Chain A
Amino acid sequence: MPLLWLLLLILALSVAGFVLGRGRALASAGGDSRLLHSLPVYYGSNAFMKSVVPASGLLILWMLVQPLVLENRISGMIPQSEIAEGSSMGLVMSEVRRTAEGLDNAVAAGAMRAEDAFSPTADTAGITQALKDAGQVVTSEISPAMLRAAQAYRQMSASSGLLMSIAVLVVAAAGAAWGIRESGRDFRARNVVEQGILAILIAAASVAILTTIGIILSLIFNTVEFFRLYPAADFFTLLEWAPSFSGRGGASSLGILPLLWGTIYISIVALLVAVPIGLFSAIYLSEYASARVRGIAKPLLEILAGIPTIVYGLFALLTIGPMLVSVFGNEGLGWMGGGRSVMTAGIAMGIMLIPFVSSLSDDIINAVPQSLRDGSYGLGATRSETIRQVVLPAALPGIVGAILLAASRAIGETMIVVLGAGAAARLSLNPFEAMTTVTAKIVSQLTGDSDFASPEALVAFALGITLFVLTLGLNVFALYIVRKYREQYE
């Protein structure tokens, strides 16, 4: 049964529950709603909720668990010999899924007869040919074991789907019936409904925790898998990044150090651009500027923060890169080979971070109490002396925190480095050379892949967990500095 119909049926059942529950409650009070414990609508909502929530919960759970169970059952059917050299269970399983889908589609399109497609003794060459003729994707000859697995797969998934529809509908109907039965004049419907709503609110708030758990689990599982295929010591210590392209053989060297160096180098360039500009802007805006100038300049700077990173990436690739090449390239100083380099990406990223640094520092400088400034002025200090010797030291922890947050932003930035920094991993000091970063390599190792079995694809998860830990660490450290060294006024 299509999912949409199932959802509509659940909704219909629960709406029926609402109407009947409300009606029954009113009837029990003889039509006089003043005699009821709660407003009539709560009796209806009670039945509605008892029907919708468990049913959709079951639906989601089933859809999450079903692929796991099926996978488990089917993979038992495939002999170890089926798994070709360089392949893996995951690849074979997706082949099985594809074949099963192909069979269904071919039968639906009338290209095959159902009894041919689903008979256990069907001849595999004929079926492969028929599938190809029907325009279904078949990568290789289907072996008998594969065909049986595919047939079992589609049968199991079909019966499991049917079972799921029945179970979900039964739960929905039972919930509605329960809600209706309860509806009577003394039933405390409002309290029950409010308890239910509270539970839903808590569940919504827990999505944040689920997301974090999801991130951590997906990173850890795949990273462990990666370290099983590739030694962890090499990953952390090798000075070379040279993935061999999967299928061509040859060992890859997957050392993270060149990538980390590229990441840090580009971030340093970005901070060298963003921090002075952002900090001086913040100082001017909060200490010198008239309200009018502030009202114009601050939003203008903040436009930079609202521009998507892909725009900065394109700006780096097509504007900053050629501009730098015309000065430092072969026709100029001869330091730069191509448009993509650490400087290209760093400058674009720096521009992106200006508003980040400036608005955070602005808030922090504004939080320094006026009395400190007044005291300094009273002693005869000029404005700039007050700022340098009183305001900035007081605001320093906050500003350091802001810079660390900007650094974490720079490390995690992807689009600018993918477009502007280049693809070659290098350990070099020349900022006009192309280098690459952790994020850029995550993108290049994972795009277009759906099955991750090779260390070349799985390494992206190890890179991801490094990135996650690095940015999280910087954020926590920034918060720690701000909390620890914050001056307490009043």
Chain B
Amino acid sequence: MTDATTPVTPRSKKSVSLTSPDARTQKRKAAEARFRMYGIAGIATGIFCLIVLLTSILASGTGAFQQTFISVQVYLDPAKLDKKGNRDPADIAKVSTFGYTPLIQQAVFDAVQQAGIETPLTRSKDMKALISASAAAQVRDVVIADPTLIGETIGFRILASSRVDGYLKDRVMREDVARDKNIDAEHLDLVDALVPLGIVEKTFNMDFITGADASESRAEAAGIGVAMMGSFFMMLVVLVLSLPIGVAASIYLEEFAPKNRWTDLIEVNIANLAAVPSIVFGILGLAVFIQFMHLPQSAPLVGGLVLTLMTLPTIIISTRASLKAVPPSIRDAALGVGASKMQAVFHHVLPLAAPGILTGTIIGLAQALGETAPLLLIGMVGFIASNAPDGIASGLLDPNSAMPAQIYEWAKRADPAFYERAWGGIIILLVFLISMNTLAVILRRRFERRW
């Protein structure tokens, strides 16, 4: 060997202690620490994104749960509302909301005068900017319901316009008002003066949770309640169809299916369907349910059918997992005492797998509840569903929206006041999703059996 002849390269002049690391070890240790830091940074970024997402939802959405109202005494002038003076409901119904608007403006103006606020706005018409366009309809509904009120002075809590609402929620800034033709700085001064008097106040907004969507110009009146009903009916369809079909399919595949081509085909199909983009299911729904079968457009029934097809793979996969978890000894015991195969499965295996199936179903439903894209194609956007359905048939067949579709609709509108509604809608949607998932976790913890 040539070891002896090779000159020994002097490593370093200093003698190296074993306890102090040399340069290479230090480098490796630094690399180790760096790598670890990358990992921590990855997780931190992920969690940071989650926090940013949740805070921006909460920060922008909580405003939707509060709404500015103006409390005024409206004099229901008989000269305007009932010109003939005979209190005939048919005549009163003929007076459109235009007849009511001046009365409300006058009422707000009177309130300002009484409070002795100095303002350059000297005409009652100047109050228009403060009042929501839906206030007149609100007063009109009360009058039509009870025509005897005409001639009296009634206290109303009417919606303030979305600009006033935005001003009190710091969404509308004074700097922006100069460019805004809907409201002037004088109006904001007036609002500032009215707030301490309690005439203008910001309170909890139940109408957002229970109400219907409103037209483009009345952001302050829009609510998500009707869309919630639409979502509810869709989920009803999904539950009624996907649970039995999913469970039946899983039982067949897990317990009875022979190993053959057909079974393989079904398995491959289910795996692929789980990966098909949701919009493709929308195309399917449009082509098959609407174009071919002529089911009504925008109906929760069609939405439910499409979402059923989408959730089926999820439910089948989780049901099969929970069927698989039931040990074979249970089946053997049942067969041993003379049960048929069918009886063993339906009387013993299925009840034991039920908690797992239920959990999977709830998670599948939660997924379906938040799905939007297929709903756009079957027409559950773009119109205003103004009335809550009054029965199961109308709930299933009448055009309606759904929560995520409603949120999308608001996000598309130009007025930033609707963005607040969209975030608020998301909070409600997430509350539903969180409670469903929590329920699933609780069920799993409570009933899960380890064999």
A interacts with B: yes
A-side residues, CB < 8 A to B, are 4, 63-64, 67, 97, 190, 194, 197-198, 200-202, 204-209, 211-212, 214-215, 218-219, 221-222, 276-281, 283-285, 287-288, 297, 300-301, 303-304, 306-315, 317-319, 351, 354-355, 358, 382-385, 387-388, 405, 408, 411-415, 418-419, 439, 442-443, 446-448, 450, 452, 460-461, 464, 467-468, 471-472, 475
Q: Which chain B residue shows the least CB distance to A387?
A: B35
Distance, CA A64 to CA B288, complexed state (A): 10
Q: Which residues of B179-195 are within 8 A (CB) of A? A: none
Q: Which residues of B381-436 are within 8 A (CB) of A? A: 381-382, 393, 404, 407-408, 411-412, 419, 422-423, 426, 429-430, 433
Are A452 and B277 in contact, with the CB atoms below 8 A?
no
Are B53 and A207 in contact, with the CB atoms below 8 A?
no
Q: CB of B60 within 8 A of chain A?
A: yes
Point out the residue from B39, B249, B287, B292 that lies within 8 Å of A208, measured CB to CB. Answer: B249
Q: CB of B141 within 8 A of chain A?
A: no
Q: A205-B248, A280-B43 are in contact. List 12 more A-B contacts (CB 8 A).
A: A190-B340, A288-B39, A297-B47, A306-B437, A308-B429, A310-B408, A314-B407, A382-B29, A443-B377, A448-B382, A450-B379, A475-B275
Point out the residue from A310, A382, A447, A471 that lies within 8 Å of B407, measured CB to CB. Answer: A310
Point out the residue from A206, A276, A304, A471 that lies within 8 Å of B42, measured CB to CB. Answer: A276
Distance, CA A208 to CA B253, complexed state (A): 12
Minimum CB–CB distance from B424 to chain A (whole Å) comes to: 11
Minimum CB–CB distance from A147 to chain B (whole Å) comes to: 21
Are B60 and A414 in contact, with the CB atoms below 8 A?
no
Minimum CB–CB distance from A459 to chain B (whole Å) comes to: 12
Minimum CB–CB distance from A101 to chain B (whole Å) comes to: 11
Distance, CA A38 to CA B381, complexed state (A): 55
Distance, CA A441 to CA B381, complexed state (A): 16
Q: Which residues of A contact B291 (CB under 8 A)?
A: 218, 450, 452
Are A358 and B35 in contact, with the CB atoms below 8 A?
no
Q: Which residues of B271-311 are within 8 A (CB) of A? A: 272-273, 275-281, 283-284, 286-288, 290-294, 297, 309
Distance, CA A207 to CA B284, complexed state (A): 14
Most B C-beta atoms less than 10 A away, residue of A284, A418, A460: A284
Q: CB of B252 within 8 A of chain A?
A: yes
Q: Which residues of B246-271 are within 8 A (CB) of A? A: 246, 248-249, 251-253, 256-257, 265-266, 269-270
Q: Which residues of B contact A467 (CB under 8 A)?
A: 277, 279-280
Are A443 and B376 in contact, with the CB atoms below 8 A?
yes
Point out the residue from A310, A312, A388, A472 that lies within 8 Å of B276, measured CB to CB. Answer: A472
Minimum CB–CB distance from B415 to chain A (whole Å) comes to: 13
Interface range for B: 35 or more
Q: Is the interface of B mostly helix, strand, loop or mixed?
A: helix
21 pairs, A vs B, C-beta closer than 8 Å: A63-B293, A204-B246, A204-B248, A212-B272, A215-B281, A280-B43, A281-B46, A284-B36, A301-B43, A304-B49, A307-B433, A308-B429, A309-B371, A387-B35, A405-B275, A414-B372, A418-B376, A418-B408, A467-B280, A468-B276, A472-B275
Q: Which chain A residue shows the least CB distance to B434?
A: A306
Q: CB of B40 within 8 A of chain A?
A: yes
Are B42 and A382 in contact, with the CB atoms below 8 A?
no
Q: Which residues of B contact A280 (CB under 8 A)?
A: 38-39, 41-43
B-side residues, CB < 8 A to A, are 28-29, 31-32, 34-36, 38-43, 45-47, 49-50, 52-53, 56-57, 60, 244-246, 248-249, 251-253, 256-257, 265-266, 269-270, 272-273, 275-281, 283-284, 286-288, 290-294, 297, 309, 312-313, 316, 340-342, 366, 369-373, 376-377, 379, 381-382, 393, 404, 407-408, 411-412, 419, 422-423, 426, 429-430, 433, 437
Q: Which chain A residue shows the least CB distance to B270?
A: A208
Q: Which residues of A contact B52 (CB under 8 A)?
A: 319
Are A447 and B40 in contact, with the CB atoms below 8 A?
no
Q: Which residues of A contact B280 (CB under 8 A)?
A: 215, 219, 412, 464, 467-468
Distance, CA A306 to CA B437, complexed state (A): 9
Point out the residue from A278, A313, A315, A414 that lies within 8 Å of B277, measured CB to CB. Answer: A414
Q: Which residues of A contact B429 (CB under 8 A)?
A: 308, 310-311
Given A382-B28, A460-B283: A415 in contact with B408 (beta carbons within 8 A): yes
Are A307 and B430 in contact, with the CB atoms below 8 A?
yes
Minimum CB–CB distance from B11 to chain A (whole Å) comes to: 19
Are B283 and A218 in contact, with the CB atoms below 8 A?
yes
Q: Which chain B residue shows the least CB distance to A448?
A: B382
